[in-house]
A and B are shown apart, each in its own frame.
Chain A
Amino acid sequence: MAAKKDKLTHILVPVHLKLSDKDKKALMEKYNVDIKELPKISIKDPAISHLDAKERDVIKIIRKSSTAGETVFYRGVINE
């Protein structure tokens, strides 16, 4: 695992959060999906390098949206 890096502070990068196992389970139940079916994010993605994420983690992304104010998006971490 690479050393923890600073959080990216660019305006283009929305807030990335790692879901806890409990939240992850709740999410999977709510939408009735598997992690494999979520949109993906690479484990090497610079925006999550500070989160120390592992494969099969779920990243919660809070985007600033011009149509809805704030929207929440989820991505499953893949190792590729």
Chain B
Amino acid sequence: MTKQFKQYEDKIPEKILEEVKEHLPAKCSEAKVKKILEAVYSEYRRSLAQPGESVGLVGAESIGEPGTQMTLNTFHFAGVSELNVTTGLPRLIEILDGRKNINTKMMEVYLKKPYSTGKNIKKLAENMKETTLQAFLQEISINIANLQMTILMKKSKLKNAGLTEEKATKILSKTFKKFKFKKQKDYSIIVTSNSKDEALNEIYKLKEKIKDAFISGVKGITQVLPVKRGEEYLIVTAGSNLKEILKKEYVDTTRTVSNDLFEIEGMLGVEATRQIIINEVLKVLDAQGINIDIRHIMLVADAMCMSGKVMGINRYGIVKEKPSVLARASFETPINHVINAALTGEVDYLNSVIENVMMNQLVPVGTGLPGLVTKTK
């Protein structure tokens, strides 16, 4: 029996073969297996897209039509309470447009084994959050006579973040190079200015600035939320910084994902981006209870990642890449395209659909695609 399956291995996708294997009755003669496989093969062949089939058009309609049914609810709480997430149509547009700055960046940070059990997860999550000096501050006082500023910090807060006043001093002196920072024993830091003339002025300015100085955590992460999913705990974050978070030793680097396409592209490459596009679109559609065949979404994702980098489906993205002037002009801003093409002397070879529609010619789609070959006598 396995011999017969082997024969069809490169003809039928693996998954279908497995399904056939699973549903085969326990006792099944070889001849019957052969017949079944033949039937499956012909059915599979029939369900393939034929050459010349306009799959893009079918895909566009298949996504577009259910898309009209989506509620226009911009913000609502999607599963995770407390966190405000862009969902629905705005999110879908964001993904397919390939926006660089998305509305709500999020990460799902998976944790390695001892950390994923949920012990101390709150502390771990808090440490991930971007924290400025403000959070640690007890008091800032300026001594005018000595031209000094004293920063008094909260002991407990520092301890929770795993910091000492020494580390804090180091971080601060790195960010503000014009000033000298000296740590004292009682959780305070003394600041003096390097410049002599306007020392007091500078220190006054610094007093406000220093409150927003980045001290600990991961830059860009504004909110954290420990979530239990199945057996393990993970941390959902608002704001995203995949590069930094993957450096942390407690993070499971194989599963942690962001919802920012460009961050994924930079860290993991185009193929991962293609997958995240599919995942994110499916997430939106599932939340809305819309059922679209995944193949259409795969096609969209493939088209967006065709050129090796993410391109949105708009005139700055994949439409710009079209080789035909007329095809580009028919989409948006026609005058610009026509003028630029005229200036550079572009040639349109009329190879694609829309320019042939404009020319009132046979469109190379379906039966219009192949040429006719006749035998000459």
Residues of A within 8 A of B (CB): 8-14, 16, 39-42, 45-48, 61, 63, 65-71, 75, 78, 80
- Which residue of the partner chain B has the closest CB to A12? B272
For the A-B complex, the count of residue pairs with Cβ-Cβ distances under 8 Å equals 80
Interface size on B (CB < 8 Å)? 28
Cα–Cα distance between A71 and B271 once the two chains are bound (Å): 13
Pairwise interchain contact B308-A80, C-beta atoms closer than 8 A: yes
Return the contact of B268 from the options A39, A47, A75, A78 (Cβ within 8 A).
A47
Within 8 Å CB of A12, what residues of B? 257, 264, 268, 271-272, 275-276
Within 8 Å CB of A11, what residues of B? 254-255
- What is the distance, in angstroms, from B266's C-beta to the closest C-beta of chain A? 7
Pairwise interchain contact B269-A45, C-beta atoms closer than 8 A: yes
Return the contact of A69 from the options B13, B255, B275 (Cβ within 8 A).
B13
Contact A9-B308, Cβ < 8 Å, known A42-B270, A47-B271: no
Q: What are 25 A-B contacts defined by CB distance under 8 Å?
A: A10-B253, A10-B254, A12-B264, A12-B272, A12-B275, A13-B269, A13-B271, A13-B272, A39-B305, A39-B307, A39-B308, A41-B271, A47-B269, A47-B272, A48-B269, A63-B275, A67-B295, A69-B13, A69-B15, A69-B18, A70-B13, A70-B14, A71-B13, A75-B308, A78-B308
Within 8 Å CB of A40, what residues of B? 306-308
Within 8 Å CB of A39, what residues of B? 302, 305-308
Cα–Cα distance between A41 and B272 once the two chains are bound (Å): 12
| Given A13-B269, A63-B275: 9 more A-B contacts, CB < 8 Å | A10-B268, A12-B257, A12-B275, A13-B271, A41-B271, A42-B270, A45-B269, A46-B268, A70-B13
- Which residue of the partner chain A has the closest CB to B12? A68
Cα–Cα distance between A50 and B275 once the two chains are bound (Å): 20
Pairwise interchain contact A45-B294, C-beta atoms closer than 8 A: no
Pairwise interchain contact B18-A13, C-beta atoms closer than 8 A: no
Within 8 Å CB of B13, what residues of A? 67-71
Which 3 pairs across A and B sit closest by C-beta, in order of nearness?
Answer: A47-B269, A69-B14, A69-B15
Cα–Cα distance between A75 and B270 once the two chains are bound (Å): 10
Within 8 Å CB of B271, what residues of A? 12-14, 16, 41, 47, 61, 63
Pairwise interchain contact B267-A67, C-beta atoms closer than 8 A: no
